[in-house]
């Protein structure tokens, strides 16, 4: 099933979260052929969790630390997230890597911890503009996947991947459907190899300036299994329009 994830980043207060969900829930209430996940900021998770009970929308978080509890000022543990019915966690998002200095080995610890705690990780990978111009797209992505999944390769079916070219995030310029599809094919080949064939259930999402006007051409790519949406997910109506594109493709 296609997976679509809203990444709100550092946006929306508790009140704004309530307002968003009050508008969004009725829009998508009958959708059963696309899996929909919202990842609000930590401060809105409780409110969102209460609001999403008995709904077809799942809850995710944008990050998490890898320990259950302890002296880790400012961090949030998998146990805290589980209590709020968080089912997914974004890990290794490019803003975590490039603004907050997260490296592959830390991301790997978080991936392992998420799996151990029954939270499905979405590992985000992607090359910078400089790396793209140097022809390093495939090698960077291969490194991020091999290092990110080290030790849990056989659990690949329990992990999703988001390919987000850093130069496409928040810029309005997405990858072309052909380029994105080629990278997704490559990601699936690596996953198949390192997991010894245990990656059929892994979905590879595309992210980076996804909007309703480019969603249908992107989703036609054979290897594209859904989207991670930032800017266009902040408005319930524009997020719903992207979801509709996925529904229509399935119906065709
Ligand atoms: P964008 O962000 O849709 O605003 O490009 C995507 C993301 O960073 O997950």
Q: What's the number of CA atoms in the CB half-sphere (13 Å) around residue 136? A: 11
Between CA 114 and CA 5 the distance in angstroms is 17
> How does pLDDT run across 105-119, given as a tens digit for each residue?
999 999 999 999 999
User: Of 93, 95, 153, 155, which one is the catalytic site residue?
Assistant: 93
> How does pLDDT run across 24-41, given as a tens digit for each residue?
999 999 999 999 999 999
Query: Active site includes 164?
Result: yes
**Helix, strand or coil for residue 206?**
strand
User: Of 95, 102, 155, 164, which one is the catalytic site residue?
Assistant: 164
pLDDT above 90: percentage of residues in the chain: 97
Distance 209 CA to ligand 1 centre (A): 6
pLDDT above 70: percentage of residues in the chain: 99
pLDDT band at 250 (very low <50, low <70, confident <90, very high): low
The protein residue whose alpha carbon is closest to atom 2 in ligand 1 is 230
For tokens 């659990």, the residue is: 155
Architecture of domain 2-251: Alpha-Beta Barrel (3.20)
Distance 69 CA to ligand 1 centre (A): 30
Domain boundaries, the chain: 2-251
Between CA 103 and CA 220 the distance in angstroms is 32
Task: Kindly state if the Cβ of 229 falls inside 6 Å of ligand 1.
Answer: yes
The protein residue whose alpha carbon is closest to atom 7 in ligand 1 is 230
């Amino acid at each position: 099933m296609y997976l679509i994830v809203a990444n709100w980043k550092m946006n929306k207060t508790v009140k704004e979260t309530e307002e968003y969900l009050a508008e969004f829930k009725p829009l998508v209430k009958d959708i059963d052929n696309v899996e929909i996940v919202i990842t609000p900021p930590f401060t809105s998770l409780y409110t969102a969790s209460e609001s999403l009970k008995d709904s077809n929308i799942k809850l995710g978080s944008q990050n998490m630390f890898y320990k259950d509890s302890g002296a880790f000022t400012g961090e949030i543990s998998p146990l805290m997230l589980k209590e709020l019915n968080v089912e997914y966690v974004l890990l290794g998002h490019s803003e975590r890597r490039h603004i907050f200095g997260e490296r592959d080995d830390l991301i790997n610890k978080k991936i392992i911890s998420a799996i151990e705690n029954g939270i499905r990780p979405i590992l985000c990978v992607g090359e910078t503009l400089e790396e793209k111009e140097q022809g390093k797209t495939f090698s960077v992505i291969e490194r991020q996947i091999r290092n990110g999944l080290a030790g849990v390769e056989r659990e690949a079916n329990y992990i999703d991947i988001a390919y987000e070219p850093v130069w496409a995030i928040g810029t309005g310029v997405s990858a072309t459907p052909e380029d994105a599809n080629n990278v997704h094919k490559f990601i699936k080949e690596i996953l198949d190899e390192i997991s010894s064939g245990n990656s059929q259930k892994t979905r590879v999402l595309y992210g980076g300036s996804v909007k309703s006007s480019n969603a249908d051409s992107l989703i036609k790519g054979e290897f594209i299994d859904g989207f991670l949406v930032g800017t266009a997910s902040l408005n319930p109506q524009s997020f719903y329009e992207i979801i509709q594109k996925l529904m229509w493709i399935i119906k065709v």
